[in-house]
A and B are shown apart, each in its own frame.
Chain A
């Protein structure tokens, strides 16, 4: 009887401990995720009036749809966001994998590359943007002029195509850091026995990369790809760091557009319902795509064995 009581007491303590352990993340999730998003969904059906918020049905959704299909600023934002995602997938991701492989294999100057590529991640983005801006707007024109090359057009504040390319180059550079650490760390964790066995079978260099390293980092690849995908509508393309709220409309991404609408000096509470509706629509679009892509990647991905 006494033993049974002791077991019950121990069980109760375990349950209490388990509840306490879960309580903090659950409460946090409830407040900062469920409540916030539930409130956003409610807000998407309201409008701001002189006396407060009023229910207006789907009118915000109608406005957002006309904005999306109506051309203008939003068409630039959609185009740029898509382009950015394409660059992420086609340029940044393969380059990151190659650099990670290079660093993991400890080839010449690999430590130097690791520091250089990781540096933008640990230094404040504003500092990095300032350095880059001064390089483009002052240092390069000065050097070119000194070498007799004549006047150099502004890179960041002149023609929009030139500005977009300049910001994109910066974006590609700063995007390496964290990913390189993740990939190279995972690659370093691949069993040396497996690598040696592969080497003995004649798999070196590119073959080792393709048949050993890529399958080894595939789960990380899936996670990072999904993270990029979910960031399709929120990627701000570092525009705020470069231009504050006054970036040229032709440089907008959807993420920057959403951010700017709420942060611009003269933003007002009237914008929240429309932006909430926009957020709901984007979630409806991106959530199923993300789930499908996850399943496909997991299905088609290489297996280590």
Chain B
């Protein structure tokens, strides 16, 4: 009987604990100041965190402490709530019932939000010059092209011209998935390529470094591996000196898909935008023929895929899936897995934050150093607790002082078709906007706050805190640049010389098919009959090892062609044919 009572009590406590855990996810619990105008914010709490927001709120409240935003009140009180549902369809379905004025969201399909009447027209604050803040430009003038052409609903995609300008949202963040590396490890072990094309430089004398992937001397990517061949030679060398070349979070398939998508974009540069709107010239399509009723990509005598050009239209748009980036991005992973250039975390259940911690701690103590981390640019901010722990307990430098940098994605081969600048591929669905349901008395303050975030001062603050940029051109002074943490500085330098591309288009095609550029999913590969194997799509190390004779990237690529034929394309997209 006593045992039963004890068990009942234990179970009750367990259930209560679970309940409390859920109930504990409330807001910041700040008292409402009735003498001020309130602005309520919902912040999608992904890797970029909320430190930037806390800092901005503090500055904004102080700046407008004596400004009346509504009758009978002076000053403003900004209250924010972090959440994981301020995103995509979840938010669209609940926005009407939320008492929130400004959202810093992710996965917002812009035109669906506008069509649903969920976003407030903010053209006034976007197009007026920011003279109040001592600037001459407007926010619209500052936006980088991929955001500017997407967010301005009057932009004509065919003539490439802006209309009168009408905006409902601004960028939230620029999320870029890329190759991040431990600069100090590279310097200590002479892992940069020199002018002679050999590894062995420590990077201290930049004039001795190779041109890097973009082929230009004297800029950020000098000394970095220029081609896949150089990259894998680097990996082999790192393995020989006792390091682990690469890691990435193995706990979620979507991460690997995102990298393949992003590396494909890196290879295709501007042409990666053809996926969002397949109208224009594609110059790196792989030649495909039908063999035994299956698609078969064609190779030349050097073992490279045969490339060809094609003017894409809505009618033949399925050919966008012949872009060689799909093949090379999967080939990149296949090579890493086959040669075991990764650690066990990359194919195990390590979460993204575990992996960040592994990466940071790897060069401390007696751990096996990890040279490269495949992650989004948010990682440096998201890993703040890991940096703090390593600094306090393991004697590592602080996050700001740590030397981590961005490595340009190498070109697949040294063929002319792939040469050119590096690519910086930005997702355009992370948006800041004012809810259309914001009450009139809070609207003025809400608009002012959003505008305030896009002043030069706040854009700089954002980059300094988060380590990333915010969809605007960067105009930092030399002094400002010098004061940025190391990683943020490398991001800015890398971005400066890269081609910035987005994954969206202000066209009916994209507005009605926004999922076509979904980063978390790869094109489905129809692998049939005798070719029914665990394709590189799933990146299963053991399987790939047991089937090393197969070219998994080619099998995956051919499988995509089998699925994206003219019949399937027509069934969905024929209405756009002229």
Interface on A for B, CB 8 Å cutoff? Answer: 47-52, 59, 62-63, 66, 70-73, 111, 115, 119, 122-124, 127, 133, 137, 151, 153-160, 243-250, 262-271
Which one of A47, A154, A263 contacts B250 once the chains associate, using CB atoms below 8 Å?
A154
Q: What are 19 A-to-B residue pairs whose CB atoms are below 8 Å?
A: A48-B512, A50-B111, A50-B511, A51-B115, A72-B525, A122-B15, A137-B348, A157-B250, A157-B251, A160-B538, A160-B540, A243-B252, A245-B254, A246-B257, A249-B538, A250-B538, A264-B520, A266-B88, A269-B109
Which residues of the other chain, A, contact B94 by a CB distance below 8 angstroms?
none
Is B540 within 8 A of A244, CB to CB?
A: no
Q: How far is the CB of A106 from chain B (nearest CB, A)?
A: 14
Q: How far is the CB of A162 from chain B (nearest CB, A)?
A: 9
The answer, yes or no, to whether B513 is at the interface (CB within 8 Å) is yes
Given contacts A50-B511, A160-B534, A265-B107, contact A133 B349 (CB under 8 A): yes
The answer, yes or no, to whether B317 is at the interface (CB within 8 Å) is no
The answer, yes or no, to whether B98 is at the interface (CB within 8 Å) is no
Given contacts A63-B571, A115-B7, contact A268 B542 (CB under 8 A): no
Which residues of the other chain, B, contact A127 by a CB distance below 8 angstroms?
18
Q: How far is the CB of A110 from chain B (nearest CB, A)?
A: 13
Is A243 within 8 A of B253, CB to CB?
A: yes
Given contacts A137-B349, A157-B348, contact A265 B540 (CB under 8 A): no
Q: How far is the CB of A55 from chain B (nearest CB, A)?
A: 13
Which one of A50, A137, A160 contacts B512 once the chains associate, using CB atoms below 8 Å?
A50
Which one of B254, B348, B515, B524 contacts A154 once the chains associate, using CB atoms below 8 Å?
B348
Is B514 within 8 A of A157, CB to CB?
A: no
Query: Can you name the residue of chain A whose Cβ is closest to the Cβ of B89?
Result: A267
Interface on B for A, CB 8 Å cutoff? Answer: 4, 7, 11, 14-15, 18, 87-90, 92, 106-107, 109, 111-112, 115-116, 250-255, 257, 344, 347-349, 429, 508, 511-515, 518-521, 524-526, 528, 534, 537-538, 540-543, 563, 568, 571-572
Which residues of the other chain, B, contact A268 by a CB distance below 8 angstroms?
88-89, 109, 112, 514-515
Q: How far is the CB of A173 from chain B (nearest CB, A)?
A: 18
Which one of B255, B348, B528 contacts A246 once the chains associate, using CB atoms below 8 Å?
B255
A159 to B344 alpha-carbon distance, docked (Å): 13
Is B568 within 8 A of A66, CB to CB?
A: yes
Query: Can you name the residue of chain B whose Cβ is closest to the Cβ of A155?
Result: B349
Is A122 within 8 A of B11, CB to CB?
A: yes
Query: Can you name the residue of chain A whose Cβ is closest to the Cβ of B427?
Result: A266
Given contacts A158-B542, A159-B540, A246-B255, contact A266 B513 (CB under 8 A): no
Q: How far is the CB of B305 from chain A (nearest CB, A)?
A: 23
A163 to B245 alpha-carbon distance, docked (Å): 27
Is B528 within 8 A of A265, CB to CB?
A: no
Given contacts A154-B347, A270-B513, contact A123 B18 (CB under 8 A): yes
A196 to B563 alpha-carbon distance, docked (Å): 65
A94 to B89 alpha-carbon distance, docked (Å): 41
Which one of B255, B511, B524 contacts A72 once the chains associate, using CB atoms below 8 Å?
B524
Is B508 within 8 A of A159, CB to CB?
A: no
Q: How far is the CB of B189 from chain A (nearest CB, A)?
A: 27
Which residues of the other chain, B, contact A154 by a CB distance below 8 angstroms?
250, 347-349
A137 to B251 alpha-carbon distance, docked (Å): 10
Which residues of the other chain, B, contact A158 by a CB distance below 8 angstroms?
347-348, 540-542
Is A265 within 8 A of B87, CB to CB?
A: yes
Query: Can you name the residue of chain A whose Cβ is closest to the Cβ of B254?
Result: A246
Is B4 within 8 A of A269, CB to CB?
A: no
A124 to B526 alpha-carbon distance, docked (Å): 38
> A66-B571, A72-B563, A270-B515 known; 4 other A-B pairs, CB under 8 Å?
A71-B528, A158-B542, A265-B87, A271-B515
A264 to B106 alpha-carbon distance, docked (Å): 12
Given contacts A157-B347, A266-B514, contact A247 B253 (CB under 8 A): yes
Which residues of the other chain, A, contact B7 by a CB distance below 8 angstroms?
115
Is B571 within 8 A of A266, CB to CB?
A: no
Given contacts A159-B543, A160-B540, A269-B109, contact A263 B524 (CB under 8 A): no
Q: How far is the CB of B298 from chain A (nearest CB, A)?
A: 24
Q: How far is the CB of A246 from chain B (nearest CB, A)?
A: 3
A50 to B114 alpha-carbon distance, docked (Å): 10
A207 to B429 alpha-carbon distance, docked (Å): 64
Which one of A52, A59, A119, A160 contacts B115 once the chains associate, using CB atoms below 8 Å?
A52
Is B526 within 8 A of A270, CB to CB?
A: no
A133 to B347 alpha-carbon distance, docked (Å): 15
A267 to B520 alpha-carbon distance, docked (Å): 11
Q: How far is the CB of B69 from chain A (nearest CB, A)?
A: 34
Given contacts A50-B111, A50-B512, contact A62 B520 (CB under 8 A): no
> Which of A156, A265, A269 has most chain B Cβ within 10 Å?
A265
A277 to B344 alpha-carbon distance, docked (Å): 43
Which one of B18, B515, B542 contacts A124 once the chains associate, using CB atoms below 8 Å?
B18
Is B540 within 8 A of A270, CB to CB?
A: no
Which one of A71, A124, A246, A269 contacts B89 once the chains associate, using CB atoms below 8 Å?
A269
A257 to B251 alpha-carbon distance, docked (Å): 19
Which residues of the other chain, A, contact B257 by a CB distance below 8 angstroms?
246
A47 to B109 alpha-carbon distance, docked (Å): 16
A85 to B142 alpha-carbon distance, docked (Å): 56
Which residues of the other chain, A, contact B521 by a CB distance below 8 angstroms?
264
A249 to B523 alpha-carbon distance, docked (Å): 12
Which residues of the other chain, B, contact A267 by a CB distance below 8 angstroms?
88-89, 107, 515
Query: Can you name the residue of chain A whose Cβ is closest to the Cβ of B572?
Result: A63
Q: How far is the CB of A69 from chain B (nearest CB, A)?
A: 12
Which residues of the other chain, B, contact A243 by a CB distance below 8 angstroms?
252-253
Which residues of the other chain, B, contact A159 by a CB distance below 8 angstroms?
534, 540, 542-543
> Which of A66, A115, A244, A264 has most chain B Cβ within 10 Å?
A264
Which residues of the other chain, B, contact A137 by a CB distance below 8 angstroms?
348-349
Which residues of the other chain, A, contact B255 by a CB distance below 8 angstroms?
246
> Which of B116, B255, B349, B541 has most chain A Cβ within 10 Å?
B349
A263 to B91 alpha-carbon distance, docked (Å): 11
Is A246 within 8 A of B252, CB to CB?
A: yes
Which residues of the other chain, A, contact B520 by a CB distance below 8 angstroms?
245-246, 264-266
A63 to B115 alpha-carbon distance, docked (Å): 25
A66 to B570 alpha-carbon distance, docked (Å): 13
Which residues of the other chain, B, contact A72 by a CB distance below 8 angstroms?
524-526, 563
